[in-house]
Amino acid sequence: MNRQLMKTHVPKIQTNLETIENLLKTFTIQPFQNDGQHHFSIKEIKPESQMPSLFDKEVIISLTDPDHDVTQIQNSLITLDFTLNLLFDNKFDQFSESYRAGTFIFVGLKSSAQLIREYVLYHRGRIIDGSLQNDSTTEQFIYNTIKPKSEKNNNRFVHSLYENVRKDDISHCGKYLNIKDISDAFAPQTAAPYVMPVNFSVSIPLDDLLIFSAISEYPNALFGDLKIKFKINQNAFVFCQIDPVISMARYYTINNDELLSSCQDKLKDIDLFFRNWSLTFQYTNMFIQIGCTADLVTGVRAEELTPS
Per the model's pLDDT, the better-predicted residue between 302 and 157 turns out to be 157
* pLDDT average, residue stretch 142-149: 74
- Collect contacts of 6-9 with beta carbons under 8 A, ≥24 apart: 6/32, 6/38, 7/31, 7/32, 8/32
pLDDT at residue 47 above 90?
Answer: no
Question: CA 258 to CA 270: how far, in whole Å?
Answer: 13
What is the number of other CB atoms lying within 10 angstroms of the CB of residue 5? 9
What percentage of the chain reaches a pLDDT higher than 90?
13
pLDDT at residue 10 above 60?
Answer: no
Give 62-96 pLDDT, tens digit per residue: 888 877 776 777 778 888 888 888 888 888 888 88
**DSSP for residue 181:** H
Of 52-56, 208-212, 222-226, 255-259, the poorest mean pLDDT is in 222-226
Q: What is the pLDDT of residue 42?
A: 75
Of 141-145, 147-151, 208-212, 284-288, the poorest mean pLDDT is in 147-151
Band of pLDDT at residue 175, cut at 50, 70 and 90: very high
**What residues form DSSP beta bridges with 183?**
none
Please give the angle made by the CA atoms of 233, 239 and 245, to the nearest 5 degrees.
Answer: 160
Per the model's pLDDT, the better-predicted residue between 30 and 99 turns out to be 99
Band of pLDDT at residue 237, cut at 50, 70 and 90: very high
Please give the angle made by the CA atoms of 118, 123 and 128, to the nearest 5 degrees.
Answer: 55
pLDDT averaged over the chain? 77
- Collect contacts of 295-298 with beta carbons under 8 A, ≥24 apart: 296/90, 296/105, 296/241, 297/103, 297/241, 297/244, 298/90, 298/92, 298/94, 298/95
Q: What is the pLDDT of residue 137?
A: 80
Q: What is the pLDDT of residue 184?
A: 92
* pLDDT average, residue stretch 242-253: 84
Phi, then psi, of 98 in degrees rounded to 5: -65, -25
What percentage of the chain reaches a pLDDT higher than 70?
74
CB under 8 Å to 188, separation ≥6 — which residues? none
Per the model's pLDDT, the better-predicted residue between 207 and 4 turns out to be 207
Q: Exposed/middle/buried for 135, CB within 10 Å: 0-12, 13-18, 19+?
A: exposed
pLDDT at residue 171 above 90?
Answer: no
Please check whether residue 103 is in contact with residue 95, taking contact to mean a CB–CB distance below 8 angstroms.
yes
The distance from CA 197 to its chain's CA centroid, rounded to whole angstroms, is 18
Q: Exposed/middle/buried for 26, CB within 10 Å: 0-12, 13-18, 19+?
A: middle
Q: What is the pLDDT of residue 13?
A: 47
Cis peptide before 197 (omega within 30 of 0): no
